[in-house]
Structure 1
Amino acid sequence: MIADAPTKHGLAAGEAGRPDSPDWTIPQGWEHYSAEEHAIWRTLYERQMRMLPGRVCQAFEAGMKALPIAHDQIPDFRRLSDVLMKHTGWQVVAVPGLVPDDVFFEHLANRRFPAGQFIRRADQLDYLEEPDVFHDVFGHVPMLMHPVMADFIQAYGEGGLRAQRLGHLEQLARVYWYTVEFGLVEENGGLRLYGGGIASSYSESLFCLDSPSPNRIRFDLERVMRTRYRIDDFQETYFVLRSLEDLLELRQIDFAPLYERTAAQPTLVPGDVLPTDVVLHRGDGSYHRARRG
């Protein structure tokens, strides 16, 4: 079904990508996936599952084992939701691709995870501009089985709606980016990845832990809120939690005064290292320096 879809999906496709439903949900249409599309899922799945052991956190591994996510076919959102609902009260809803911010936050605030129902082409295995079903389901859904992450993402949705009203969405978006998408955590005496943007990317799963290039810095909320991020390449800095339970503290914080305080300070570029940072690894910047020529 997706072979005939436009190059851009959802919000990125403009009016052509807008569905009829105001919440942007659509049927997944699982029965319409082609054998080729299931084969692309299998290639991506098997490649990640060979590489992730010893790199991904235990919560991700546990979630993957408990959910109906397998190598041979794109998961059925209905079956995923049945399991999630029983454990953490979440469900997965299909959307055509990226959705407006207010729609995204409303879904998260109500424990609905919007997942793109299209899958990348065979020539896009290593890079895709838009999040597809592999990024959204393989990368993110296993962590929704963890009670802390389940509660944190719901709180993020509620906070996003408030941040929009206060005019500080950019600062809150950085928190999501450096945790849910590209977060690292200390575990078993080393660093493990838990962010879905990393877990679904073969090359970044290697880069974030093995490369000497990026900084790995202890997570600090206000620091993160001031730090821009890369949307077009590997991150120059990864922020590291002591444990996933640290995310529980963020649920108790009144962000309104933080928005005012961080807005009054200089915005930091992705590769900055501050004297006040707890630096676990000072990157040499070699990757991005070479990319800049």
Structure 2
Amino acid sequence: MDTAFAKNRYHGAPRAADFTIDQAWETYSADEHDRWDRLFRRQREVTKGRACAAALKAMGTLELSPSGIPHMGRLSDRLEMLTGWRLVPVAELVADEIFFEHLANRRFPAGAFIRPEAEFDYLQEPDIFHDIFGHVPLLANRVFADFMEAYGKGGQRAMRLGQLHNLARLYWYTVEFGLIQEADGLRIYGAGILSSPQETVFALDDASPNRIGFDLKRLMRTKYIIDNFQQTYFVIDSFEALLEACYQDFGNVYAEVKGQPDLDAGDVVAGDRVITRGNLAWFPPEGRKG
């Protein structure tokens, strides 16, 4: 959402009122296309056996591959045929109200720039690799696509009610850092994990983090950290269950959580459905609060 980062290749590019820009696909350099290819090949390997089935299937359906940076218009044509979603290129993170307006109308704002070589392994601001490799495959899943639209509409209401911080936690712990229980075990669907080789392994294999069954009200009370791996991952049983949990009047949910204290990122509390209780060994004691 709305945060300032270092300038990228689109800084100063003309933009519409909704923050969208021309991707200008033909202006990517050979080095930038090669960088996409290397990021894609690496992450495709590390996500084998770790990414959720829906994401892996969609990679093929959408023809995502290490063959240069995707053209968002052509990719949108394929995606729109499946779920009605399109990608709209932006230069940077957009203002909250614009972000929600896009989602509510089945448009996903995707960063058009690709990270510099010096930040190949980690980038704080979401770039085109994070947004397309991480987010786009799940937008091809009809149920998850419906959830994202509902989230956009819910965001518009949360802003009016002054509860955006609670709703932002839902996005963080699902869309960005969510796990799902599949027949063969826990798998990843969150884009923040799927686009990170280190966190892809950490989220499933490390003994440090808690892995707790999804609970909407509990999640909305849980703070998060943005500069490290997650201390807690919330696990959904299915995309259908996630959508059902969020097809309700959040006004009542907000009223209930508003009167309860926030929880730190690594807390385990009574009533949690603990799948794995982490030892938090990765995190120094002074860094265990979110």
Q: Same fold (TM over 0.5)?
A: yes
For 1:137 and 1:189, the matched residues in 2 are separated by 26
How much does 1:223 deviate? 0.4
Corresponding position: 1:149 with 2:144? yes
**1:281 equivalent in alignment to 2:279:** no
TM-score (norm 2): 0.94
Q: For 1:229, what is the secondary structure of its paired residue?
A: coil
Deviation string 1:15-61 (CA, Å, 9 cap, x unpaired) is x6685411000011111100110111111100011111110000001
**How far apart in 2 are the matches of 1:275 and 1:27?**
50
Counterpart for residue 230 of structure 1: 225
Residues 49-98 of structure 1: per-residue CA shift (max 9 Å, x gap): 11111100000011111113210201110111111111100000000010
Query: Is contact 2:211-2:233 (8 Å) kept?
Result: yes
Q: Secondary structure at the match of 2:123?
A: coil
Per-residue deviation, 1:268: 0.6
Q: Distance in 2 between matches of 1:101 and 1:133?
A: 19
2:50 is aligned to 55
Change beyond 3 A, Cα 1:285–1:251: closer
**1:8 alignment partner in structure 2:** 7
Give the C-alpha shift of residue 9 in structure 1: 5.3
Structure 2 gap segments, 5+ residues each: none
**C-alpha separation between the residues in 1 aligned to 2:231 and 2:91?**
30
**CA distance in structure 2 between the aligned counterparts of 1:186 and 1:8, rounded to whole angstroms:** 39
Letter of the aligned partner of 2:41 in structure 1? E
Divergent runs of 4+, >4 A: 16-19, 290-293
Contact 2:13 2:21 in 1 (8 A): no
Residue in 1 aligned with 2:181? Answer: 186
Are the aligned partners of 1:68 and 1:75 in contact in 2 as well (CA < 8 Å)?
A: no
Q: Which whole-Å CA distance do the structure 2 matches of 1:105 and 1:47 have between them?
A: 32
Aligned residue among 233, 238, 244 for 1:243? 238
Check whether the contact 1:184–1:240 (CA below 8 A) recurs between aligned residues. Answer: yes
Q: Which amino acid aligns with 1:7?
A: A
Please point out which of 133, 142, 146 is paired with 2:128.
133
- Summarize the Cα distance change of 1:18–1:267 in structure 2 as closer, same or farther, 3 Å threshold: farther
In structure 2, the residue corresponding to 1:178 is in which secondary structure? helix
Q: Is the 8 A contact 1:40 1:122 kept in 2?
A: yes
Q: Report the CA distance between 1:260 and its aligned residue.
A: 1.3
1:71-127: per-residue Cα shift (whole Å, max 9, x none)?
020111011111111110000000001000000000000000000000001121221
List gaps (5 residues or longer) in structure 1: 1-5
After superposition, the Cα gap between the structure-2 partners of 1:155 and 1:18, relative to the gap in structure 1 and judged at 3 Å, is: farther
2-structure distance, mates of 1:292, 1:111: 37
> Any idea what SS the aligned residue of 2:115 has?
coil
The alignment status of 1:115 with 2:121, answered yes or no, reads no
**Equivalent residue pairs, number:** 284
Q: Please tell me the residue identity of whatever aligns with 1:111.
A: R
Which of 31, 35, 54 is equivalent to 1:36?
Answer: 31
Q: Is the 8 A contact 1:174 1:224 kept in 2?
A: yes
Identify the match of residue 196 of structure 1 among 191, 205, 208: 191
TM-score (norm 1): 0.93
Letter in 2 for 1:62: K
Cα distance, 1:7 vs structure 2: 2.7
* Amino acid in the other structure paired with 1:148: V
Q: Supply the RMSD in Å over aligned alpha carbons.
A: 1.8
**Aligned equivalents of 2:99, 2:140: Cα separation in 1:** 19
| Counterpart contact for 1:9–1:17, Cα < 8 Å | no
Deviates more, 1:240-249 or 1:84-93: 240-249
| Matched residue SS, 2:146 | helix
**Percentage identity across aligned positions?**
53
